Amino acid sequence: MAWLLTAQRPFWTALLIMAGIGGLVLASQMMLAAPIMPGWRGILTVIVGFVPELFGILGPVAALIGSVVASQSWKEGGEFRGLVSTGVGMAPVFKAALLWGGLVGTGVAACTHILGPKGRALSRQVVQEALQDGPLSPGVRLQIGGVFLGADPSGTSGAGVVVAGSDWVAWAERGVLEDGGVQLTSGQAKALDDSWRIRFEEARWPLPTGRSRPHNFSRTTPELSRHILAQRSARRDTGRAELTLMKRSTLAISAPLFAVIGVCMALTRRRPVPWAVALIFGVWLLQRVADYGIGRADSTTLAVAPLAVLCLVVVLMLRQVGRPA
């Protein structure tokens, strides 16, 4: 229990800092890619929506950091030496690390399978809703279904806003998106073949309401499983979706392995932190290789490869711990 308490502060500090920075980065990428920015409340919702996904991804990493820092503190403070000298040995610490890693893995599984996809879907919904209600800012270019919307970057010409369909075009001084349509003020409209032309003070054109397909990351595990079955029935490739599904479980399983590795690193390395960073980078690199290996290798093999490497590291480091100094 004492070791577990020592590991909590570095674990939560690392997790919250990494998730906070990651949430800002992911939210910025999503919002900068959107043509219309949501309000401040929407921006905060987007950032918070990414937090569960980041907890799932970074939980095992934070478990490694907490384990390394706590074990290094115990090594320098003499607690490990005291356990060995009393004949108790290191078994209680390894059991505590394994148990704690299992609890972290349970939280990671909840985030990766359910909470993370729901949070990402919420963030995406907030960004999409910003397109349904707000002024068309200069420089905006939108393609909604078969309708094009554009706002003059300079804002100096009479055609401040342009709306075009398959056989017509309208332009006006101002335009606002509201209630699923675009409201234009002081403009004109005409057919592309010049069969008709009108002037108006106010006009409203409805916009297509078709919803975009959700990304695999925005689907919970039950939803993603149903999507995979539907793709298989349609004889379509499911490799990327299967890899996404299996990685959610391998992340959770890696948490107890990282916790045990942290204890081993503190016992066998003079400077365990650089070794921990190198291990994190190596696992990340294996995951990126798996992402690019879709279609060249089996999805199960690609998903399990980083986990197999971690198991090998655990075995090798436990053998080192068992040797006399």
Phi, psi of 184 (to 5 degrees): -105, 145
Residue with tokens 């996904």: 53
With bands split at pLDDT 50, 70 and 90, how would you rate the model's confidence at 63? very high
Check residue 135 and give its pLDDT: 56
In terms of Cβ atoms closer than 10 Å to its own Cβ (0-12, 13-18, 19+), residue 100 is buried
SS3 for 154? coil
Say what the pTM is.
0.73
Decide if pLDDT at 73 tops 90: no
Decide if pLDDT at 128 tops 90: no
DSSP letter at 201? E
Average pLDDT of the segment spanning 128-143: 62
Domain boundaries, the chain: 2-130+217-322, 146-206
Beta-bridge partners for 169: 164, 190
pLDDT tens profile 283-300: 889 888 888 877 777 888
pLDDT tens profile 299-308: 888 888 888 9
Q: Which of 16-20, 46-50, 205-209, 258-262 has the lowest mean pLDDT?
A: 205-209
* Total residues found in the chain within this entry: 325
DSSP letter at 156? -
Please report the sign of the dihedral spanned by the C-alpha atoms of residue 316, residue 318, residue 319, residue 320. Answer: positive
Q: Do 209 and 249 contact (CB within 8 A), yes or no?
A: no
